[in-house]
Copies of this chain bind each other. A is one copy, B any other.
Amino acid sequence: MKILVTSGGTSEAIDQVRSVTNHSTGRLGKVITETLLNAGHQVCLITTRQALKPELHPNLTMIEIQNTSDLLQEMKRIVPDYQVLIHSMAVSDYSPVYMTGLDEVQASQDLSDFLHKKNTETKISSKDEVQVLFLKKNPKIISLVKEWNPSIHLIGFKLLVDVTEEHLIQVARESLKKNQADLIVANDLTQINANQHLAYLVEEKDYQIATSKQEIANFLVKRIQGFDC
């Protein structure tokens, strides 16, 4: 099958040396990609410079992106060519618009004016004691996938921090419906470390539990075999 995997975390530039980054090692995406390749699938992995990468493989194509805008452009282009999308990338919810010293912000009559400004400096000066950064919401890429390819099977991810199992599964179910996904892998940052990765593999009617990255990958590969492509 032709499967598209996204992995790593996006980074949204504040200026040419600083950015707002979503942390993700890319380790899970790497394990999923390797497991898919071992099962004989053709994989395209969209990832970032910082993320861990699988080794080269004749059935693997890799595309490096940096920010949400790059990701949107690439996915819009290639999602129509794939039968399954496993969207494990940590995508930034917001992008920087304008950064300035507190004085300029305090002197303003209407703060929404700053949403139409742009920094012209290549590296914002570090003279001010306090800086204020305005950020605007990014488009939710996962919600666009089915517009680009209505027949693609969509596996989404939901990462929360220190919540109850019930809440995590409820949020995953909402995401499942809203994004017309087949499955949501829901996990809690407090239950992820180098050796363990607790995840709830949530579908419409039930869910299963995996306790390691390899178990998550094995489950997904098995589940994909059952997809009607």
Contact = CB atoms under 8 A, between A and B. Distances in A.
Contacts of A14: 20
B123 A161 contact: yes
Given A16-B189, A122-B162, A189-B16, A135 B132 contact: yes
A189 B115 CA distance: 27
Interface residues of A, number: 40
A146 interface: no
A59 B23 CA distance: 32
A136 interface: yes
A187 to B, nearest CB: 12
Interface in A121-180: 122-123, 126, 128-137, 159-162
Interface of A: 11, 14-23, 50, 90, 92-94, 102, 105-106, 111-112, 115, 122-123, 126, 128-137, 159-162, 189
